[in-house]
Structure 1
Amino acid sequence: MDHIVPGDDHRLSNLTSLCAWHHKQKSSREGAAAQAAKRRAIQKKFQRSEQHPGLL
């Protein structure tokens, strides 16, 4: 069984049956997307809000 919409919603309307190969493909895509979002959030924390004084 696999969640149609990722998360903790375990209602039957949000579950679907997938073979092992398709489940692996879907889980891999979802994991890569989550990792990319985490990377973007971390990079955003370190963005400069003003120019460096040496570059003025």
Structure 2
Amino acid sequence: MDHIRPGDDHRETNLQSLCGWHHRVKSSREGAAAKAAVRRRNDRKFRRTEVHPGLR
């Protein structure tokens, strides 16, 4: 069983049956998207606001 929408909603309307291969592909895609979102959020947090003195 696989969650259609991520999270802990275990209602029958949010579950679907997938074969092992499709479940791995879907889970991998969702994990990569979550990792990329964290990376983008961290990049924004540590973005330089001024030019480095050596680059002027």
TM-score tier, shorter chain, comes to 0.7 to 0.9
Equivalent residues, number: 54
Query: Identity over aligned residues, as a percent?
Result: 63
So what's the TM-score if we normalise by structure 2?
Answer: 0.86
Structure 1 moving runs of 4+ over 6 Å: none
* Cα root mean square deviation, aligned: 1.3
Looking at structure 1, the residues matched to 8 and 14 of structure 2 have their Cα atoms a distance apart, in angstroms, of 10
Runs (5+) with no aligned partner, structure 2: none
Q: How does 1:27-46 map to 2 (within 5 A)?
A: 27-46=27-46
1:37 is displaced (CA, Å) by 0.4
TM-score by length of 1: 0.86
